[in-house]
Amino acid sequence: MPDPSRDGRPRTDGTSPKATFVSINQMQPKDGQRDQLIALLTEFAVSIHAEPGCTHYSVHQAPDETGPLTIIQAYSSVEAFDEHAVWMRPNVPRLAALLAAPLRPPVLYESVPLSGNPKESLRPGPA
């Protein structure tokens, strides 16, 4: 069995040294608002990428540029994600105005270490 101190599995003291906390949201733009939504998410990216503890923020769409946008965010701690939520709160009305459906509250997921392979994490590895 892998050594829990090296593979990111929670330690007996409840900490997870290499855990990544991920939020994946889908946002369906209103008809004719896709470009405006992408522009707003691009604007947000400048601040989000600079947030302490943010290890990943990206926006994805179907190859044919239809359907919802998928936003993937990763943070090094729950506290870092909570700080992001504080920043995000006053920006929600701008975002919601471009969406076809109400914005869902984010759900935060913790990574589950499997084999210790770096490809199992959204956290950047050594250069």
Residue 13, pLDDT score: 40
H or E element at residue 27: strand 21-27
Residue 56 Cα distances to 2, 52, 64, 102, 103, angstroms: 27, 11, 24, 24, 21
Q: Could you tell me which of 4, 52, 19, 26 has the C-alpha nearest to residue 120?
A: 19
* CATH 3.30.70.100 corresponds to the domain 27-113: yes
Burial class (CB in 10 A: 0-12, 13-18, 19+), 48: middle
pLDDT in tens, 37-55: 999 999 999 999 999 999 9
pLDDT of residue 36: 98
What is the pTM for the complete model shown? 0.79
Q: Which of 35, 125, 49 is nearest to 84 (CA)?
A: 49
Residue with tokens 């997870």: 16
What pLDDT is stored for residue 11 in this prediction?
Answer: 39
